[in-house]
Amino acid sequence: MHHYLKNKTLFEARIKVLPASDLGMIIVIPAYHETEVIRTLQAIKKCELPEASVEVLIVFNDSESDAVAVKKVNAEASAEACKWAEAQNETKLRFFPVYFADLPAKHAGVGLARKIGMDEGCFRFEKVGQKQGILVGFDADSLCRSNYLVALEGHFRRNPHTSACSIHFEHPLCGTEFDDEVYTAIALYELHLRYYIQAQRYIGFPYAYQTIGSSMAVRSQDYMQQGGMNRRKAGEDFYFLHKFTHLDNFSELNRTTVIPSPRISDRVPFGTGKAVGDLLQRPSLELNTYAFTCSGWRQHITFATRPIC
């Protein structure tokens, strides 16, 4: 057994069902106080299947200090996901909901949930001797294009030396699920994310990549080699992926698309959900970003306050 699994994991393997002998990919989805996880699972279920078998681990989680209402939502969502998985599982694509309740309040959060799921994934790959298995980060409110699974498998096959990659993402910019102001706010924030990376590349910074938790993948062997996922309550994706961008074998997958939600969220102190909420609190939708001159001044970028369709 790999020394990481002996010394760096926090829990023993939870899933008792044996993995398929050709298991090649495991998608890890942290789920906290989520009521529509099935919608996300259905998006993955509709994907074209790759050659290797795929598993999806949904890590429902809460802390010892969470309100009873949160725990109730988690328990009900977990039970619903288990029932759905029993009806939908097939040989090449299986879903495994697991529920970790009452985690230590000091560490409970998205980083710990991702670590639990990705560590479990490593245990699964270890059982079938798959050192090159792909661990994929996803979110419980995200969707994906139908070629998501085959694109992931193909990317790592075409790039045998890549240890990890970021996956192309696009937030929805119009629709009926959210108010128009939400779509405008997420357009502003996504433009900021893309502008920031492109500006870094323009000046020659070699490690300029998007670091989005719902849009990343890593080989299990490299995951363990680099010490696994951290337990940060926010920014866990940024710090995790930057352990790989400096290895000179990081890559980008642009042949498929992850569709993260633009919803407001107060679960973390920064990030997409927090940024959208902050923008909506301002009298006029306006977002500050970094000055291209890197002079220390900030410039204002203002876009139309109507959805972009």
What tens digit of pLDDT does each residue of 3-37 get?
999 999 999 999 999 999 999 999 999 999 999 99
Spell out a b/e string for 68-81, using b for 16 or more CB atoms within 10 Å of the CB, else e.
Answer: eeebebbeebbeeb
> Mean pLDDT for the chain?
91
Q: What is the pLDDT of residue 295?
A: 40
Residue 134 has pLDDT above 50, yes or no: yes
Look up residue 34 and give its two tokens.
Answer: 């989520």
Share of the chain above pLDDT 90, in %: 78
Residue 67 has pLDDT above 70, yes or no: yes
Q: What count of other Cβ atoms lies within 10 Å of the Cβ of residue 11?
A: 12
Predicted model pTM: 0.92
Cα–Cα distance measured from residue 268 to residue 109, given in angstroms and rounded to the nearest whole number: 9
Look up residue 102 and give its two tokens.
Answer: 């009452």
Cα–Cα distance measured from residue 285 to residue 297, given in angstroms and rounded to the nearest whole number: 20
Residues 6 or more apart whose CB falls under 8 angstroms from that of 307 comprise: 173, 174, 180, 183, 184, 187
What tens digit of pLDDT does each residue of 255-291 get?
999 999 998 776 666 778 787 888 888 867 778 888 7
Spell out a b/e string for 259-293, using b for 16 or more CB atoms within 10 Å of the CB, else e.
Answer: bbbbebeeebeebbbbbbeebeeeeebebebbeee
